[in-house]
Chain A
């Protein structure tokens, strides 16, 4: 569904920017902590450049005040950013240990309505060892328990997101029917860790459901990713290609279309963006053409000059090579990513 001058199966690369990830290649001094207006300018700049989405990391509670780069929790920050942007996708990280599935499903469903269908949830399959101690689970989770807990959690959230049919709301003031009761569905989930009746008390998403971005997957998590993820973020470039092929094969085996999952490779572009934009562009082009990924997630500090280097130097080069779509086609994050309904089975 991308531009006609595409050179790889009619597709252009997906581009995301990830703000303040733990492993950011830059340190932001405490004194230079960005306030909301700076973050708003950063995301507006990313939007003006036509990037698909911004990912808002959420520091692991327990990391200590010195590790924080902004004074905001990710979902509340997303809500605020949604009101000062119109097109760009906004994805917030939120932990399956720190939330209850009903509350989290609700928060993101609401963010999706606030942003008119531009919201996504970044769930990680990698457990933060310090987090459980602040959420009344001092004993933590075993690796296996954490995986099963996360998988059940995600299933509940995605089920709740689809509890109202898209045409359930009638708003029939004269007839006195606000919604069609036949089009509201209970979840009635009873599982190992949770039981949740539903339905959600937020309307159906303008983009069908918020986008699910999974990160931190290790080998045993690949089946989960293949079944439920819309976007998968991968770390190690050396094995990313094989992993991407593998997860897409598994997705097809689960009855999903081959385009139903977008695999993005995490990239820390570093300081040579400004000096050697062509080198960065070469590297991205090579990975993209070898089909090891559908695009890239650029890890950046919330510093405008770093984004400027990417947007003003590297992006024009990628665009010149026909690797990046020229503008947003539609309004929702799902459509930016080529994940809109018709590509799902």
Chain B
């Protein structure tokens, strides 16, 4: 009976594989259809878990399409850990290369946004830094300051109106979705996860800070890339969203 689990696991995800030898029904005859209960349980459970994690992707493509698409995904990408809240980490990449969804170019970024919300929800509880320490500093010192962001903070950059698509499907705000690129900040300032549209250059600024660049360098790079970048507004937004964990002078 050694190594039957390998054949069992293989056959679970591939209905074309035969039922593993040695499994018997109550009559002592080969188990046949009863093995399909496990096949069904596993795939149904995984599709459901994926739908719970990506409700906006599901809403956009519709129940039937989602189920078929998720069925392909779960067989090709079974979870690597029993922590099912983190299942679907590469669902966005899968969507990028899933031909039937190619017409929905924004879909992978919607999935990235939903996964970022999951990560934010379960991230470590961290205090937010008090911005008043910046008030006593001269401009030269401020430009050298490093701002560390909280683990709950995630930035999703998109060439599509990903915030509006998410907002339209996940909230009561049904104002029309306008075309255009959108960057999104996902954070958890209190008990609830917050999804906010970032101003122009805001994402680049946060990503530079996240990479460890001092405030002056991050601001200069964001402004070089996006002339309308507004440092004051970005800083105010960051502290309002309580995403700064520490301020190192």
A and B: bona fide binding partners = no
Interfacial residues, chain B to chain A (CB-CB below 8 A) = none
Interfacial residues, chain A to chain B (CB-CB below 8 A) = none
